[in-house]
Chains A and B, each alone.
Chain A
Amino acid sequence: MSLILPYNREEEGAHPPFLSPDYKATIKRSPQQPLIRIPQTLTEVTGPAGRWDRLMGPAIADLTKIGTGEAIGQRIVVSGRVLDEDGRPVPNTIVEVWQANAAGRYIHKKDQWNAPLDPNFTGSGRIITDDQGRYRFYTISPGAYPWGNHYNAWRPAHIHFSLLGPAFATRLVTQMYFPGDPLIPLDPIANAVPAHALGRMISRFDIETTQEAFALSYIFDIVLRGRDATPMED
C-alpha cells in the first residue's frame, strides 16, 4: 500500500464553464451531463515529467530565429514562474507556446485572413521550467485578428500556453494577454472566465527586465494546481 498525495481540485469560480455561449463554438461542443467526480488515483497523480525531449525534441526558446532571417515585429521577451497556489515553484514543467505573427496571422494553413505571412516566423516554441519554476522565451508581439464569432469580432493579441506539470491532474491550457489591450473587455473567450479571475491571464510590462536596445519584457506567472495537504491511502 502506498500513499497517494492528491492535487487540489479546480478552483471554484476561476475557470470558464464549458458552455460559454458568447463563444459560439462552445454551444455544440460542451457536455450536458454533469461531470462525474472521481478520486485521484495513481493515474491522475503521475505524469511524464522529464521525457519531453524524447517525445517532442529539444527546447525552442527563441521564436524570432526559426527561419533563415529574423522575424518581423516588435521583439519581446516573455518570462515568469510556474507556481502552485501556495507560491511553491513547479519545476520540470513543459511550457508549449504558439501565437500569430506581428500582423495577426497564424502560419496554420486554415488561417486564411488577409494579412501577410512572415516566412521567418513560425510562432511555436517550448521551454521546460527550471528548479525555481522559471521559464523565458523570445518572440515578437502578436497582432490582433478578426474571427467569425460575431460582427466585427477581433481577438485581442494573445499567446497560447500549454502546460503539463508533474501529473495528469496538473494540466493547463490558457492564453496570455497584454496589459491595456482595449479588445480584452470585448472578447468572449477571455470573458468566459469569471471577471475576478480574468486578470490572472494578463501579463505585465516590466521595465526592469526589458533589455536595453533589444526587447520589451512581459512577465506572466502561471498558477497550477498544487498538492492537497492531506494524503489519501491508496
Chain B
Amino acid sequence: MTGQTPWQTVGPYFHYALPWKGGADLVEGRGDAGARMDLVPDGHYTLNPNDHPRGVAKGQIVTITGTVFDGDGTPIPDSFVELWQANAAGRYDSPDDDRAELALDPDFIGFGRASTDADGVFIIRTVKPGRVPGPGNSLQAPHIAISVMARGVIKRMVSRIYFADEASNTEDPILDLVPPARRATLLAVPVGEGQYRFDIRLQGEGETVFFDV
C-alpha cells in the first residue's frame, strides 16, 4: 500500500489551463461559455483550439446561474465549478455505466467547467439529467455532481445541484441524508422558463452542504 497524493489548491492562475471555451455549455459547447478569455493573453490559449462543432444534446435545456460567495458574502471571481451529470435519459457517458438499455446521446458527454466571472457569477447551460439508481432499490432525483475549486480552496468542495421544482426530490436517498433545514442549499430555484438560480456559499450563514464522497 502506498499513500494517496495530497490535494493542493488550484491557486488563482488556472484559467489558461483548465476551463475550456464551451466547457460550461454542455448542450452544444458553444462560444466562450465557461472560459475566462479576458484573463488569457492573445496567442496563449491552448484549450479546445478547434472549437469542435457538435449537435444539440437531447432533453430539456436548462440554464443555471449562480454566484460563489465567501464567508463575508463577497463574490469569488477566481473559482470554477466542475460538473458531472447523466444525460436526459439517465445514462452516464462512462465505461462504468453499462446499462445498454438506456441510450447514450452522441451530442452529450455531461462533463463541464464553469469559471466565475469578475463578479463571481457562473452560468451553466445543460439538459436536465434523468434519474439514476441510488443505493438499494432507490432512484435518485435528477442532479448534477459538482466540485468547487478556487484560490483559497485547498481541496475541492463536493456538492450537488438538484432542481427545486422536481417532485422526486422527496424520494432522493442522498437528500434524505441532509438535515431538512439545510436541503434548500442544494436546490436550484426556478426563476423563469428553463432558468434556475443556484448560489454557492462556501462558509457561514446559508453555507452550502458539502459532501464527503
Binding site for B on A (CB under 8 A): 1-2, 8-11, 14-18, 20, 23-33, 35-51, 54-57, 60, 66-67, 83, 85-87, 96-98, 106-111, 119, 122-125, 160, 162, 166-169, 171-175, 189-190, 192-194, 197-198, 200-201, 222-225, 232-234
Which one of A46, A96, A189 has the highest number of Cβ atoms from chain B below 10 Å of its Cβ? A46
Nearest to A198 among chain B residues (CB) is B6
- On whether the beta carbons of A171 and B147 are closer than 8 Å, the reply is yes
> How many angstroms between the C-alpha atoms of A169 and B212 in the bound complex?
10
Partner of A193, one of B6, B15, B48, B85: B6
Contact with A along B91-117 (1 / 0, CB 8 A): 011111111000000000111000000
- On whether the beta carbons of A106 and B212 are closer than 8 Å, the reply is no
The secondary-structure label for the interface of chain B is: loop
- On whether the beta carbons of A35 and B212 are closer than 8 Å, the reply is yes
- On whether the beta carbons of A49 and B212 are closer than 8 Å, the reply is no
- On whether the beta carbons of B155 and A18 are closer than 8 Å, the reply is yes
12 further A-B pairs in the complex, CB-CB below 8 A; given A10-B4, A55-B111: A23-B9, A28-B202, A29-B203, A41-B140, A46-B94, A57-B49, A57-B50, A123-B16, A166-B96, A172-B5, A197-B6, A224-B4
- On whether the beta carbons of B209 and A33 are closer than 8 Å, the reply is yes
Partner of B38, one of A1, A17, A109, A222: A109
- On whether the beta carbons of A57 and B97 are closer than 8 Å, the reply is no
Contact with A along B1-31 (1 / 0, CB 8 A): 1111111111111111110100100000100
